[in-house]
Amino acid sequence: MDLRLNETQNMLKKVAADFVKAEAPAHVLTQWYLKRQTAQTELYRKGAGLGWAGMMLPERFGGAGASAMDCAVVFEELGRGPLPGPFFSSGVLGAQLVMEGGSDAQKKTLLPDICSGKDIVVPALTDRGVHFGPEAVQTRLTKSGGNLVLDGSKKFVFDAEAATSFVCAARTDNGDVALVIVDRASPGVFVTPHTGFGISIAEVRFEKAQVPAANALGGAGTGWQTVERALEKTLPILCAYQVGGCQEIFDFTVEYTRTRVVFGQPIGRFQRVQDHVVELSIHLDAARLTTYETLWKLDSGMPARASVHEAKAVASEGYYQACNYAHMVFAGPGTDYQHPLMAHSVLAHTLYQYLGTPLHHKHKMMDALYPRSGAK
Amino acid sequence: MDFSLQQDSPEMAAFRKEVRAWLQENMKGAEHLRWSASWSTRENDEEYQFRRDLAGKLGRKGWLFPMFPTEYGGGGLTVEHQLVIETELDRYGLNINHVFYTLARIVAPVILKWGTEEQKREFLPPMCRGEISVWQVLTEPQGGSDVANCQTKAIRDGDCYVVNGQKVMVGHHLPPDFLWTLVCTDPSRPRHENLGWLHIPANLPGITIQHMHLMMGIKNAVFFDNVRVPAKYLVGGENNGWKVANTHLELEHGGEGRVGTDPLVERVIEYCQQNEVDGRPLIEDPKVRELIADMSIELHTVSLMARRIAWHRYVRQPHPYGGAQFRYHQRMVRLRNGERLQQIMGCDALIPNLSVNEVVDFEYVVRSGPGQLHGGGTLDTDRLVFARRVGLGRPTTEKAPETI
């Protein structure tokens, strides 16, 4: 047992922390969230220049060959911003989908440009807003001559605005789920950002969008297995990003309890206020410990499926609740978009939904631990 | 980062083999015993005797206090050895505290920290050998969480302290050898500077112990009536009791950490596999699965927090707020799990000894939900300690007291 970061990880952490401070100081970052300018592609490409896109992929494909823990350390610092941009969606999950589903030739062609940040490949998996899982893949994939044709609408695509292409899950004529890569500039691809409380989400519509047959990732019918394999390796990185968010919220909330004075004393002297911070800390540390343990399992080659789902449930719920408790402490000023809490809050609500809610992942965890009879 | 408890070096693998073989031999005949959280109220004489004997055997091997120096009766071993012993005991649903069943697991480190050389040599070996049972005797009727408001007087008279006063809600249903207690040694001095800490032999004249019947089972009231306690039993020096109390309370309030696992979820799963509703095992019911998921996740976060504290303690860098946070979280989780059991199992959750070989006694888990919220200090004191350690509303943070 050793719960410390190693030397490399401490260095990665510092580089990422410095990057966030230099590139996205609070007064800049808060404006991005207020003006919904979160498709920060140039910022993302700078990060990719530091090796943060495709970080866990082998070097021969342009990756950095990093361990999951190394990658998570970087993402934890990005989450402290919370730095927007397709760092996870393209640089981690998108890249991993190609790695898991692509042929050798496809990997050689596609991955170097994903790892350099030039191509931003954003997953567009489920169609419906209400459910995550293969059942919610409804977009149709049909053959027409030598091409494939996509028809359908993905309601909740995170980082869609930043995409240069999408990894799209679609249903073939015989009901299988297939994955295809669709150029965003193809005719018939429409990206409509959502307004409202979510952030960085858009509806992506495919109206008879033509896709070259060579863009299919893996055989028909293997699509969702590819998604599950990629998620098992990458969800903990998203969790680490959420842990970073929780830590930042904890830190600035503790500081606020010292500096904000009402009724003649710092609010941190009030036990009601203290209670909020206690709950916040439990969500933070529960998220951190389940995430770290999962990363350790992945890096040690241990079975990790149940842990991955547990970590996603705990980290998503933790980030969400950390925001809520911080809102109780900050009251009015915390709802002002000038304060970073608002950036965290909109993002925490969005990531609560992204790739499945905590409840979804609790069921997945249970299925991994205690399979239901008749379950696959 | 390494969360492993059982990835041993060759040396540790050999030690694990030794411990496992030893336990196999020495746990013979104990297979039918319930090593459960409920023993403090349910344990019978046979169980008690077996466990105390086991403690003695572990103690003589140096495995009850593996990391304690050998000159005081400990094992003189490393943190790795301790982890091996704890994880092997965990296979039987036991941990070292569990086997020993005495506050000495907290008391001994405090003596190691605050005792004189003479006291260490006299008090520690019998504890390390698993021979004595110690009660923590802190709570007073008027004091409650305000431990420093101690009214039990211990006034120096020649070679002795003369103790008068009353403590409540302490111990369990089996008698102690020592009473480990906070007393007021000088009523004229300011708060926190007027206290002393005594390690009192329980057989001294003037001590009366009376059972109290509480939600969690039997606890006791202890009366001191002109009890003459030899001065050599004062630990930590004259009027220094509050500092001793801080070390003690840090260890008691979560600072000790632990590396074991809680078998509750496994037992609930078994129950849900064996019991059907409408021809379908409970475990197939999505609502039941959600309840078990929450139970499992929360217990896991509790155990990860405990493991983190154990690690911080082993590397001699006390976690600043981990103990208080863990203790608050653990007790709230137990409370919620009691309700979850009731939702999953219906009335069965209220029937004790549901099955003879249950490692987990469901009824006890339900009952202990509200019952365990305040033992050793309320949830509110945990949150107060947390606030000070983190420095909420304060320019400075309070350091965790040193434990060993």
- State how far residue B60 is from chain A, nearest Cα, in angstroms: 27
* Beta bridge partners of residue B208, listed in sequence order: B223
Q: What is the end-to-end Cα distance of chain A in Å, rounded?
A: 35
Inform me whether the pLDDT recorded for A258 exceeds 60. Answer: yes
pLDDT score of A46: 98
Inform me whether the pLDDT recorded for A31 exceeds 80. Answer: yes
Inform me whether the pLDDT recorded for A138 exceeds 50. Answer: yes
* pLDDT (mean) for B282-308: 96
| Window 316-345 of B, Cβ < 8 Å to A | 321, 325, 328-329
pLDDT score of A180: 97
pLDDT score of A17: 98
Q: Which helix H or strand E contains B97, and what residues bound it?
A: helix B96-100
Inform me whether the pLDDT recorded for B37 exceeds 70. Answer: no
Phi, psi of A308 (to 5 degrees): -60, -45
Which DSSP category does B102 fall into? S
Highest mean pLDDT among A341-355, B78-92, B352-366: A341-355
pLDDT score of B356: 44
Lowest mean pLDDT among A99-113, B99-113, B377-391: B99-113
pLDDT-above-90 percentage for chain A: 96
The number of C-alpha atoms within 13 Å of B292 and in the hemisphere containing its C-beta is 28
Identify from B301, B317, B327 which residue to disrupt to test chain A contact, counting A C-beta atoms within 10 A and taking the largest count. B301
Inform me whether the pLDDT recorded for B227 exceeds 90. Answer: yes
Lowest mean pLDDT among A44-58, B29-43, B65-79, B115-129: B29-43
pLDDT score of B384: 94
- For tokens 């995170």, name the residue: A158
Count helices and strands in chain B by DSSP H and E runs: 13, 9
Whether A3 sits inside 8 A of B3 (CB atoms) is yes
Lowest mean pLDDT among A18-32, A146-160, A342-356, B238-252: B238-252
Whether A372 sits inside 8 A of B83 (CB atoms) is no
Other CB atoms within 10 A of residue A197 CB: 9
- Nearest Cα to A375, choosing from B144, A367, A145? A367
Q: What is the end-to-end Cα distance of chain B in Å, rounded?
A: 23
Name the pairing type of β-strands B178-184 and B134-137. Answer: parallel
Name the pairing type of β-strands A216-217 and A177-183. Answer: antiparallel
pLDDT score of B357: 45
pLDDT score of B38: 46
Lowest mean pLDDT among A73-87, A299-313, B54-68: B54-68
B320, B250 in Cβ contact below 8 A?
no
pLDDT digits (tens, 9 = 90+) for A90-137: 999 999 999 999 999 999 999 999 999 999 999 999 999 889 999 999
Name the pairing type of β-strands A165-171 and A121-124. Answer: parallel
A223, B359 in Cβ contact below 8 A?
no
Other CB atoms within 10 A of residue B29 CB: 8
* pLDDT (mean) for B153-166: 97
Return mean pLDDT, chain B.
Answer: 88
For residue A302, give the chain B residue with the closest CA. B4
pLDDT score of B360: 63
Using 50, 70 and 90 to split pLDDT, how confident is the model at A374?
low
B308, A289 in Cβ contact below 8 A?
yes
- Cis before B320 (ω within 30): no
For residue A271, give the chain B residue with the closest CA. B384
Whether B83 sits inside 8 A of A258 (CB atoms) is no
pLDDT score of B105: 76
- Nearest Cα to B52, choosing from B109, B106, B98, B108? B98
Inform me whether the pLDDT recorded for B351 exceeds 90. Answer: no
pLDDT score of B101: 66
Whether A269 sits inside 8 A of B301 (CB atoms) is no
pLDDT digits (tens, 9 = 90+) for B256-289: 777 777 778 988 999 999 999 999 999 999 999 9
Which DSSP category does B399 fall into? P
Q: For residue B83, which residues of chain A lie inside 8 Å, CB to CB?
A: 1
Other CB atoms within 10 A of residue B133 CB: 21
B140, B183 in Cβ contact below 8 A?
no
pLDDT digits (tens, 9 = 90+) for B239-261: 999 999 988 888 887 777 777 77
Q: How far apart are CA B221 and CA A69, in angstroms?
A: 52
Using 50, 70 and 90 to split pLDDT, how confident is the model at B400?
confident
pLDDT-above-70 percentage for chain B: 93
The number of C-alpha atoms within 13 Å of A179 and in the hemisphere containing its C-beta is 29
Rounded to whole angstroms, the maximal C-alpha distance in chain A is 77
| Window 304-333 of A, Cβ < 8 Å to B | 310, 313-314
pLDDT score of B103: 73
pLDDT score of B359: 53
List CB contacts of A220: < 8 A, sequence separation 6 or more: A172, A174, A176, A178
Q: How far apart are CA A169 and CA A178, in angstroms?
A: 6
DSSP secondary structure string, B239-267? T-HHHHHHHHHHIIIIIT------THHHH
For residue B293, give the chain A residue with the closest CA. A362
Q: For residue A362, which residues of chain B lie inside 8 Å, CB to CB?
A: 289-290, 293-294, 297
Per-residue HEC secondary structure of chain A comes to CECCCCHHHHHHHHHHHHHHHHHCCHHHHHHHHHCCCCCCHHHHHHHHHCCCCCCCCCHHHCCCCCCHHHHHHHHHHHHHCCCCCCCCHHHHHHHHHHHHHCCHHHHHHHHHHHHHCCCCEEEECCCCCCCCCHHHCCCEEEEECCEEEEEEEEEEEECHHHCCEEEEEEECCCCCEEEEEEECCCCCEEEEECCCCCCCEEEEEEEEEEEEHHHEECCCCCHHHHHHHHHHHHHHHHHHHHHHHHHHHHHHHHHHHHHCEECCEEHHHCHHHHHHHHHHHHHHHHHHHHHHHHHHHHHCCCCCHHHHHHHHHHHHHHHHHHHHHHHHHHCHHHHCCCCHHHHHHHHHHHHHHCCCCHHHHHHHHHHHHCCCCCCC
Amino acid at A77: E
Chain B contact for A164 (CB, 8 A cutoff): no
Using 50, 70 and 90 to split pLDDT, how confident is the model at A255?
very high
| Encoded tokens for B337 | 């799990």
As to burial, measured by CB atoms within 10 angstroms (0-12 exposed, 13-18 middle, 19+ buried), residue B351 is exposed
| Encoded tokens for B329 | 């979280």
Whether A1 sits inside 8 A of B83 (CB atoms) is yes
Whether B297 sits inside 8 A of A69 (CB atoms) is no
* Chain centroid to CA B167: 19
| Window 336-365 of A, Cβ < 8 Å to B | 359, 362-363, 365
- State how far residue A293 is from chain B, nearest Cα, in angstroms: 6
* pLDDT (mean) for B181-189: 96
| Window 174-203 of A, Cβ < 8 Å to B | none
- State how far residue B292 is from chain A, nearest Cα, in angstroms: 8
pLDDT-above-90 percentage for chain B: 57
Closest by Cβ to B325, choosing from A4, A282, A300: A282
Whether B289 sits inside 8 A of A366 (CB atoms) is yes
Inform me whether the pLDDT recorded for A194 exceeds 70. Answer: yes
Other CB atoms within 10 A of residue B308 CB: 22
Higher pLDDT, A359 or B49: A359
Using 50, 70 and 90 to split pLDDT, how confident is the model at A376?
very low
Which DSSP category does B192 fall into? T
